[in-house]
Amino acid sequence: PRLPLTTSSHPQALENVNVRLRELYPQSDELFDILLISHNHAQVGVRFINSINHYGLNIERFCLTGGNSPIGYLEAYNTNLYLSADEEKVQEALAEGIAAATMFSPGAGVQVAPGTKQLRVAFDGDAVLFSDESERIVKEHGLDSFFEHEKKNVDQPLSQGPFKGFAEALGRIQRKFYAKGERLTCPIRTYLVTARSAASSGGRALKTLRSWGLELDEALFLAGAPKGPLLEKIRPHIFFDDQMFHIEGAKEHGTVAAHVPFGVAQRRSRQATPPRD
């Protein structure tokens, strides 16, 4: 997968995956590739190079667009994931069909959960891996209608969300390790961390993943409980969610989180925001 980052997200863990892949598949070119992409002018690249060398990061690809939006270049770079601190750019990328999210680091005074050599990626379900179709029912008709709808449609797969393709890309790399008998020592681990309840609405989520052939390592159904404490135990390198209160909860517990501005929750949020003078 190609990962253009405006801020690098634990590239050491990505490099660890690449090292292991090269050991098992010396001729394989299916590796993690980090691209630094910016609307800055070309001469700023010297500063980027100095910073990258200072921190010992393995980032060889730059895309400096001299004031133009970089989003048009993402498809040409075969991008699987775009991360930025600029929500407008993230929304542009999502509109182009590319998995994208706005990065947030834990605030000042909050200790960042220590990373692991194993790359750990945690996904929310609705409006991230899945579409927002079920979330719309919650927002418009309440939880009881949602539970009834999910039970009625338990065997009907949910439509795909913006991060299905990225999760599948991770899964393809995981299967390369499984094929060599390294399931238990695979350097990638993926998680579904959802506010859904297991008994009343979890079945449809799991059956949807199965229908896609997408195997996540762990599925955690929280039934509306806060996600932050559990994320602190998981210690993912990054957590993706469409709702800012879950992002804030993750940050409070030292997790690097990325907001996916997709689906009905974003429209409701904008409607609730008072106009500025």
Distance of CA 20 to the CA centre of its chain: 22
Residue 56 has which token pair?
């010992």
Residue of 29, 86, 124, 155 marked active site? 124
Antiparallel, parallel or unpaired: β 257-259 and 100-104: antiparallel
- Kindly provide the residue ranges of all beta strands, DSSP E only, lying in the chain, ordered along the sequence: 2-4, 33-38, 61-64, 82-84, 100-104, 119-123, 188-194, 218-221, 238-241, 257-259
Which of these, 170, 179, 176, lies nearest to 214 by C-alpha position? 170
Contacts of 271 (CB under 8 A, 6+ apart): none
Q: With beta carbons less than 8 A apart as the criterion, state whether 35 and 4 touch.
A: yes
Measured between alpha carbons, how far is 4 from 267 in angstroms, rounded to an integer?
27
Cα distances (angstroms) measured from residue 72 to each of 61, 69, 93, 95: 16, 7, 8, 11
Q: With beta carbons less than 8 A apart as the criterion, state whether 92 and 70 touch.
A: no
Which of these, 274, 191, 262, 200, lies nearest to 227 by C-alpha position? 191
Q: How many helices (H) and strands (E) does the chain have?
A: 10, 10
**Annotation says 144 is catalytic:** no
Q: Which residues carry out catalysis?
A: 124
